Amino acid sequence: RRGGQQGPGAGQDDSRGNPLAQLNLSDEQKEAIKAIRESYKPQIEAILAQRETLTRAEIKEQLDALHEQIKAEVEGVLSDEQKSQLEDLKAEAEARRAEREAQMRANREAARLVMVEVLGLTDDQVNALEELRASAEAERDAIRELIESGADRETVQAQVEAQREAHQAAMISIYTDTQYEI
């Protein structure tokens, strides 16, 4: 989990990444949540110990199921008011995430427009670059699937390098020499 957290209630003193820390939990609630998390550690460790035999997708699926169980138990410790506050905090976090993503998309589009203008790209070049971007996304997905299938590091690195070289060659074929230098 992000920030090194081990599930619901982890790092309760860190209110930035943990909405539970903003709920004014009683000492009893904090202890109960800590006990819940502690009780699941052996199961989490057992799943993680199977890295050699399970794919990443299988590990993720098992951990997600476990985290849902932990979440349900933790929510059982909360009052109705705290559950409502928690839902509000989650909704606010989701709204902030969506806003950041929208801003990142807008920034990418602005950068793309600047690149088109600075390089003096033709419509054909812009279309070819869009097609290349789409194919690069598909290639990244294929790499992720390769990783999740349990492929060894050398195989993944070889695939990444081959895709990088193909992408570079495609870019060279789209740009003029001057545009490529810029």
Q: How far is CA 152 from CA 129, 155, 156, in A?
A: 31, 6, 6
**Nearest Cα residue to 1 out of 88, 64, 76:** 64
Under the banding of pLDDT at 50, 70 and 90, the label for residue 12 is: very low
pLDDT for res 1: 35
Burial of 38 (0-12, 13-18, 19+ CB in 10 A): exposed
Question: What CA–CA distance (Å, rounded) separates 129 from 121?
Answer: 10
Give the tokens for residue 67. 């985290």
Contact between 9 and 34 (Cβ < 8 Å): yes
Tens digit of each residue's pLDDT (9 = 90 or more) over 114-171: 999 999 999 999 999 999 999 999 999 999 888 877 788 899 999 999 999 999 999 9
What predicted TM-score, i.e. pTM, was given to this entire model? 0.58
pLDDT for res 18: 80
Start-to-end C-alpha separation, the chain = 40
Strands annotated E in 98-142 = none
- In the predicted model, is pLDDT for residue 61 greater than 80? yes
Give the tokens for residue 154. 């050398």
pLDDT for res 17: 64
pLDDT for res 4: 41
Under the banding of pLDDT at 50, 70 and 90, the label for residue 179 is: very high
Instruction: Using a pLDDT cut of 90, give the percent of the chain over it.
Output: 70
Averaged over 14-33, what is the pLDDT?
A: 82
What are the phi and psi torsion angles at 152 (to 5°)?
Answer: -75, 160
Tens digit of each residue's pLDDT (9 = 90 or more) over 35-56: 999 999 999 999 999 988 888 8
- In the predicted model, is pLDDT for residue 5 greater than 50? no
Question: What CA–CA distance (Å, rounded) separates 180 from 182?
Answer: 5
- In the predicted model, is pLDDT for residue 2 greater than 70? no
